[in-house]
Amino acid sequence: MHFRDRPDLVGVIGGMGPLAGADFMTKVIQLTPGEHDADHVPLIVCSCPQLPERVPAIMTDDAPSPLPALVDRVRFLVDAGAKALAMPCNTAHYWYDDMAAKAGVPFIHIADAAVAALVRRGVPKGPVGLIGTKGTIKAKIYEPRLAAAGYSCIAANQAVISEIVLPGIELVKRNRLAEAATLFERAVRILVETAAVPVVLLACTEIPVGIGNPVGWLAQHTLDPNAALAQATVDWALQQRNG
């Protein structure tokens, strides 16, 4: 079988940011059951970070939209043979509907994957916390899908986002992960303590990169949507492979 004809071939819209896309691919590999190289999920990756900034396009009316560039990546991956798409960037899901309309193949939504992970984990229905970019929070990427499953969303306040989360994200972009991890854990603790939520969604794919592999209290009180998206991708691929 030519690789383009594989029913389990997944296209990855990466580069937002580059480490987040690489983290997603690593998690797909780690979550795939198999004993040999050929057991793993075939991926076509478009990691091209050169596109208009997502957050300004959501927050203001005069910033250039990344949608044309995102649609171009969708078409590139589908033309290359992708039978489904995944996009390890929360904020870019603001344009999900327009991108999915152009795809013509299944497009796994990161918030749907995160909700499924909450259910699998047995998180009680009710409020959960969220930290992420201002664009993700303003666009309410998660709220409708959480509500459909019986959850609600409490996002960190503006001060926590501006003074702790966003500086942490910028540190990840500069590969200063240890410094970023300290800030992200602080933001999670503030939200858990002030809002009494059982779990905080790490709703920027660069936050889990900064945190790494959480243990103890931090692991108990966080959920990684990038890992959830990776699990949903593996589940989809194996279902197609096994018929």
**Spatial separation of the C-alpha atoms in residues 182 and 185, rounded to whole Å:** 5
Task: Look up the pTM and report it.
Answer: 0.96
**Spatial separation of the C-alpha atoms in residues 241 and 104, rounded to whole Å:** 19
Identify the architecture of domain 111-225 in CATH. 3-Layer(aba) Sandwich (3.40)
**Spatial separation of the C-alpha atoms in residues 184 and 212, rounded to whole Å:** 11
**What does the pLDDT profile of the chain (243 residues) look like in tens digits?**
788 889 999 999 999 999 999 999 999 999 999 899 999 999 999 999 999 999 999 999 999 999 999 999 999 999 999 999 999 999 999 999 999 999 999 999 999 999 999 999 999 999 999 999 999 999 999 999 999 999 999 999 999 999 999 999 999 999 999 999 999 999 999 999 999 999 999 999 999 999 999 999 999 999 999 999 999 999 999 999 887
Domain extents in the chain: 3-109+228-242, 111-225
pLDDT at 3 (0 to 100): 83
Domain 3-109+228-242 of CATH type 3.40.50.1860 = yes
Can you list the alpha helix ranges (DSSP code H) found in 17-174? Answer: 18-31, 54-59, 67-79, 96-103, 110-121, 134-139, 143-148, 158-160, 166-173
State the residue for tokens 């209290």. 217
What's the pLDDT tens digit per position in 177-214? 999 999 999 999 999 999 999 999 999 999 999 999 99
Paired tokens of 107: 């497009």
pLDDT at 242 (0 to 100): 84
pLDDT at 2 (0 to 100): 82
pLDDT at 113 (0 to 100): 98
